Amino acid sequence: MNRYWNEYQKTIADDHYFYERSCIRQTFFPGSETAFLRILREELGKDIFDDFRQHTCTGIGYHADIVPFETTMTVCARLFSLMTEHGYKNYVPSCVTSFGVFTEVLHTWQEHPELLEKTRENLYKATGREFEIPENLVHPSDIIYKFREELAGKMKYRLVNSFTGKPLKVVEHIGCHYAKIFPDKGVGKAEFPYVLAGMIESWGGEVVDYPERRHCCGFGFRQYLIQENRGYSISNTKKKLESMEPYEPDFIVTNCPGCTLFLDRWQYTIAEMEHKTYDKDGYGIPVLTYEEMAGLLLGYNPWELGLQIHQVQADHLLDKIGIEYNINDKYKGVSGTIFRKPEKPTILQV
Amino acid sequence: MTTVAIVGAGVAGIEAASVLAAHGVKVKLFEKEASVLGNLRSKAFLFPNFQASDQIVDSLTAKLLVDGIETITAMEIVDIKHTSDGWHLSDNKNHDYLADAVLVSTGYKVFDAARKEELGYGIYKGVITSLDMEAMIKADKLVNAVNATPRKIAFLQCVGSRDEKVGNHYCSKVCCVTAVKQAIEVKKRLPQCEVTIFYMDLRMWGQGFEEMYRTAQEQYKINFVRGRISEAAATFDGRIQLKSEDTLLGLPLKMTTDLLVLMVGMEPSEGTVNLGKKCSICGDYGFIQSTNPHLSDNTTAIDGLFVAGTAKRPMTVQDCVNDGRSAALAILSRIDTTGNLGAE
């Protein structure tokens, strides 16, 4: 552990959060945001507000060079105005890209107060709304990190292989926009981020430090959003998977929508293209969000957390941890309807 | 009889003490460590003639065994003040020493490589500093992270020097040639070991340095790559994976080595920074500011307070010997016929 980043402490508010949902997470990992709200409200007894009027931060459009920065600042200002309207001061965006965008916007306003005034004017002219700058901007993973020990005391399971008694080997991957743009805004900064590593260690697991730990997950916005560039996207994911393979990780955990998606879905594509999987038994390496990881250990129903939606199925991981689940409920909807089972991939085992 | 207090028994301090004593000046030489010449003792051989540093240590310590020099070790001077009866030096045990003049030769410390997080020093066993490499050469035992003979070693120049990110814009002057020296020492012991030096530009400014650089390439087949290392990480088998760019070829480069040696630069020692601040003679980066770099490089803005050696800036051993003598001369030139320090 590098003593310099160990000494660094990020300010994370204790309570009263305004939550902003991600554009894509509810589609790709539908249980994660709900699990986060449940953990905060039911496990930690915190006040967190989830406004139904929220909207995009423009992040994907901004990083794809479609949305100009002036627009991004005004759209972010409208989100801040919702927070202000409800009397909150601590802003918590679910998405790492949003966290990066908000950090950039706030930093820009700090360096160029005239742009803040211009944004206030733009927002007022367009919507008649006003806003205050958040006192504390943190990512939800920061909050789970802050209360990781308290949560550990409430957990039903630990990150331990119930067959061998050994700690599970966990690859943690941080979204680039969490700490690589503004290193001092991330717990542990950019080189050895500690936000997920801290959770893993506190909950009984062992962090895998592999050579391509800091490498891009493969999303990289333009690598994927521009169809012709998708070869770059998958080759980056492949580089990471190859680098972590010798360590035989039990699963991967991330704090970014894009990272979870690409590290998960590209495993299927690589298996189809090259008949290659990155675990010994051909099931692939499960990729979880940190909310899913916390929810599982707290004893939440894996199917309510949405694990069946992932490409790489986590059933073997649940068995390893010793989590009780009903396999018959795996494809049962909220209404009780059993949905059709998805088709099995050719190579990747399910 | 004039008494001069010298704070710091490194190369410059000892050389100054020796010259002053030879001219009848009483010297009190303070050293915070238990033994003198700490930095020099950490070296195995000195460039450009590969002379064993222990020989220089022996020669310099012998100079202290003369009348007129009182060496006080394990005593840290924490404050210096001037009153009507002269200079008062206080140590960390509340002793008070009186002197007519003070020479500050508190020296340097090496840059803490852990500040360059991306290079993994203090995290990966295979990442070491030039100081660690010097110790291995001195012990004549070159091993990698798993105690085996290294087959591949990379050196990285300018760690903590010429680096805006850590706030050190200056060149540490000795690292370029030190890496070449260490690389040659490695090849003398392990001819099969593949050695690469990553550099920004090689500053072979001193007599014999350019020749060493040429010998390193022609005779010892040491590779030189112009590029910085952006990231170091441990591999599954305990080696170190490097990412860099060969800026002459314009290509990214990935390499796995047994050891990565970080050529750590010089920073002012804690003593230098402390006394510089307390006496208001602090210059850039915490080094002590001399009156004029050309003509008055051993005096300071405070009359009676002199400076020598790496307390001012990075220097070689050779530079320090000369600067210690020069400081002694500056002090002697201020002593009048009555043996007192006259007005400037």
Is residue A234 one of the residues assigned to a domain? yes
Is the interface score ipTM higher than 0.85? no
- For residue range A226-261, what is the model confidence (pLDDT) as tens digits? 899 999 999 999 999 999 999 999 999 999 999 999
- The reply to whether residue B117 touches residue A247, judged by beta carbons under 8 angstroms, is no
Write down the mean pLDDT value for chain B. Answer: 95
- The reply to whether residue B233 touches residue A213, judged by beta carbons under 8 angstroms, is yes
> What's residue A153's pLDDT?
98
The region of weakest confidence among B102-111, B220-229, B327-336 is: B327-336
Cα B132 to Cα B147: distance, rounded to the nearest angstrom: 14
Is residue A167 one of the residues assigned to a domain? yes
Residues of chain A with pLDDT > 70, as a percent, come to: 98
**Helices and strands counted in chain A (H then E):** 16, 8
Strand-strand pairing, B251-257 and B240-246? antiparallel
Is residue A77 one of the residues assigned to a domain? yes
Are A155 and A129 members of one domain?
no
Q: Which CATH superfamily is B113-265 part of?
A: FAD/NAD(P)-binding domain (3.50.50.60)
* DSSP class per residue in A220-235: TTHHHHSGGGHHHHHH
A52 against B1, higher pLDDT:
A52
Tell me the whole-structure pTM to 2 decimals. Answer: 0.90
Strand-strand pairing, B194-199 and B223-226? parallel
- The reply to whether residue B233 touches residue A214, judged by beta carbons under 8 angstroms, is yes
* DSSP class per residue in B233-250: EE-TTS-EEEEEEETTTT
Kindly report the nearest CA distance between residue B113 and chain A, in angstroms: 11
Nearest to B234 among A3, A190, A209 (CB): A209
| Paired strand residues for B229 | B244
Contact list, B115 vs chain A (CB under 8 Å):
4
Quick check: B320 and B310 in contact, CB under 8 A? yes
Domain count for chain A: 2
Are A55 and A163 members of one domain?
no
Are A33 and A65 members of one domain?
yes
Are A134 and A152 members of one domain?
no
B336 and chain A in contact, CB less than 8 A: no
Q: Show Cβ contacts of residue A114 under 8 Å, excluding neighbours closer than 6 positions.
A: none
Are A107 and A172 members of one domain?
no
Are A123 and A152 members of one domain?
no
- For residue range B15-41, what is the model confidence (pLDDT) as tens digits? 999 999 999 999 999 999 999 999 999
- For residue range A113-165, what is the model confidence (pLDDT) as tens digits? 999 999 999 999 999 999 999 999 999 999 999 999 999 999 999 999 999 99
- The reply to whether residue A210 touches residue B231, judged by beta carbons under 8 angstroms, is no
Kindly report the nearest CA distance between residue B114 and chain A, in angstroms: 7
At residue B206, the 3 state secondary structure works out as: coil
Half-sphere exposure (Cβ direction) of A60: Cα atoms closer than 13 Å: 14
The CATH number of whichever domain residue A311 belongs to comes to: 3.40.50.11810
A169 and chain B in contact, CB less than 8 A: no
- The reply to whether residue B236 touches residue A2, judged by beta carbons under 8 angstroms, is no
Are A188 and A267 members of one domain?
yes
| Paired strand residues for B306 | B103, B299
Nearest to B235 among A1, A211, A214 (CB): A211
Are A227 and A316 members of one domain?
yes
Are A283 and A169 members of one domain?
yes
- Picking from A173, A184, A210 by the largest number of B CB atoms within 10 A of its own CB, the best residue to mutate is A210
- Domain B3-107+269-332 indexed as CATH 3.50.50.60: yes
The Cβ of residue A194 has, within 10 Å, a number of other Cβ atoms equal to: 24
The CATH number of whichever domain residue A56 belongs to comes to: 1.20.1050.140
> What's residue A222's pLDDT?
85
Residues of chain B with pLDDT > 90, as a percent, come to: 95
Write down the mean pLDDT value for chain A. Answer: 95
- Picking from B111, B127, B231 by the largest number of A CB atoms within 10 A of its own CB, the best residue to mutate is B231
The region of weakest confidence among A189-198, B51-60, B189-198 is: A189-198
Q: Show Cβ contacts of residue A63 under 8 Å, excluding neighbours closer than 6 positions.
A: A97, A221, A222
Determine the structural domain holding residue A303 and report its residue range. Answer: 148-329
- The reply to whether residue B123 touches residue A214, judged by beta carbons under 8 angstroms, is no
Kindly report the nearest CA distance between residue B265 and chain A, in angstroms: 19
Are A63 and A196 members of one domain?
no
- The reply to whether residue B117 touches residue A191, judged by beta carbons under 8 angstroms, is yes
A214 and chain B in contact, CB less than 8 A: yes
Is residue A92 one of the residues assigned to a domain? yes
Are A285 and A198 members of one domain?
yes
Are A258 and A219 members of one domain?
yes
At residue A290, the 3 state secondary structure works out as: helix
Q: Which whole-number Å values give the CA distances from A329 to A167, A178, A293, A306, in the listed order?
A: 28, 35, 19, 11
Amino acid type, B254: K
Cα A120 to Cα A137: distance, rounded to the nearest angstrom: 19
- For residue range A292-338, what is the model confidence (pLDDT) as tens digits? 999 999 999 999 999 999 999 999 999 999 999 999 999 998 888 98
Which regions of chain B carry the CATH code 3.50.50.60? 3-107+269-332, 113-265
